[in-house]
Structure 1
């Protein structure tokens, strides 16, 4: 359960921190993390590299899901 405490590299620790932060943002925004992650992983590959992706953040998920 606490395996995240033992990251092998600094980059791995940073990646874990990003994922944990996003999951906790989902919880704070009352968004189901799995539904949000499915939405992001479906939408993100369809976008070009220079497009703003702020609408994919967890606190904007309800607005995107209802639109």
Structure 2
């Protein structure tokens, strides 16, 4: 358990929660065949621009074209 061993070194509960959230995003990207770094870039930059729920749903791993995220397009 990589995550479990790393979280014992978190100084605060908030820090541990932030770590688990980021770890979850990375592992979800991997499970969906996406390169994590390229998948996280729009997740952190696009939500402020979103006007509708559909705009947010476009960022979900199942809605992303893996060829784009993996640098093939």
The TM-score with structure 2 as length reference comes to: 0.65
Q: Paired residue for 1:8?
A: 11
Report 1 or 2 for greater relative contact order, CA contacts < 8 Å, sequence distance ≥ 6: 1
Contact 1:27 1:33 in 2 (8 A): yes
The TM-score with structure 1 as length reference comes to: 0.69
SS of equivalent to 1:56 = coil
Contact 1:26 1:59 in 2 (8 A): no
1:20-40 per-position Cα deviation (integer Å, ceiling 9, x unaligned): 011000000000111111122
What stretches of structure 2 of length at least 5 have no aligned partner?
Answer: 69-73
Instruction: Report the aligned-residue RMSD.
Output: 2.3
SS of equivalent to 2:58 = helix
Q: Paired residue for 1:29?
A: 32
